[in-house]
């Protein structure tokens, strides 16, 4: 069975550029989560969706970050404009049900902002 699929796997870009990360959740899962992982802060939840609706975006660092889920099989996380401190690994996860169900993670996008 296909797991959570993220693209690209790696992204290197210059500061100020727009970055778009993509995620396809596991088919049938109705909750989707975006996380950021850094050495300093570990795994941080940025935003999560339930049935395509954003439920809690309190983890989004600032207005430069935005996320959408136009349908049940696709979500994007956008950073505009990007800054070097945004460099991290960004994970997407999905679950069947709400926050209390185990989350299945994709392999992440390693983002480097120069």
Binding site for other proteins (CB under 8 A): 4, 42-43, 45, 48, 55-56, 59, 91, 93, 98-100, 102-108
Minimum Å distance from CB 20 to other proteins? 19
- Kindly report the length of the chain: 114
Q: Are 48 and 99 in contact (CB under 8 A)?
A: yes
What are the Cα distances from residue 99, in Å, to 12, 16, 22, 85? 32, 34, 21, 28
Choose between 9 and 18: whose C-beta lies nearer to other proteins: 9
For residue 95 the two structure tokens come to 């679950």
Q: Shortest distance, CB of residue 66 to other proteins, whole angstroms?
A: 19
Q: How far is the CB of 105 from other proteins (least distance, A)?
A: 3
Nearer to other proteins by C-beta: 15 or 43? 43
Calculate the CA 75 to chain-centre distance.
8
């Amino acid at each position: 069975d296909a797991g959570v699929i993220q693209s690209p796997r790696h992204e290197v870009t210059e500061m100020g550029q727009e970055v778009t990360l993509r995620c396809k959740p596991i088919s049938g899962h109705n909750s989707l989560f975006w996380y950021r992982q850094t050495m300093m802060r570990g795994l941080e939840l940025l935003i999560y969706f339930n049935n395509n609706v954003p439920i809690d975006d309190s983890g989004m660092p600032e207005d430069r970050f935005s996320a959408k889920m136009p349908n049940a099989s696709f979500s994007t996380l956008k950073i505009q404009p990007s800054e070097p401190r945004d460099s991290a690994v960004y994970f997407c996860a999905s679950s069947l049900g709400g926050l209390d169900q185990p989350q299945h993670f994709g392999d992440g996008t390693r983002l480097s902002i120069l």
